[in-house]
Amino acid sequence: MKNKFFTIVKKVNHFFFSFLIILSFVVLALVSWFLYNNFYQTIASSKKIVVLRQEVALEEINIDKFEKLIEEIEAKTSIEFLNNIKNPFIEEVDNEGS
């Protein structure tokens, strides 16, 4: 009877020990994934932002001038403006003088 009890206890201990090892690996993997996603990638992206800020134009953009320039470009490329341009290859004849 004693031997059976000890063999059962050994099997339970072995199972429990195996379960703890597997559980610790799973917890370690989850903690590693969490740290990678929330800390490492954040630090890496912030370093990229710092590098990109150094490469971007050093002068600030005047938004008013930019919007005015965009409006002028849109006005020049509008269909109304293009329809008013005379074709130099076609001669228009005045019917009033004939």
Q: How do the domains of the chain map onto residue ranges? A: 2-83
Q: pLDDT value at position 81?
A: 64
Q: Does position 98 have pLDDT exceeding 80, yes or no?
A: no
CA 30 distance to own-chain centroid? 24
Give the Cα separation of 59 and 56 in Å (integer).
9
pLDDT confidence band for 94 (50 / 70 / 90): low
How confident is the model over 37-83, as pLDDT tens digits? 888 888 888 888 888 877 776 777 788 999 999 998 888 777 776 67
Q: pLDDT value at position 69?
A: 93
How confident is the model over 84-93, as pLDDT tens digits? 777 778 776 6
Kindly state the DSSP code that residue 40 receives in the 8-state scheme. Answer: I
Q: Which residue has the tokens 């800390």?
A: 39
Among the listed residues 71, 55, 73, the one whose alpha carbon sits nearest the alpha carbon of residue 63: 71
Q: pLDDT value at position 85?
A: 73
Tokens of 33: 């994934």
> In the 3-class helix/strand/coil scheme, how is 69-80 assigned residue by residue?
HHHHHHHHCCHH
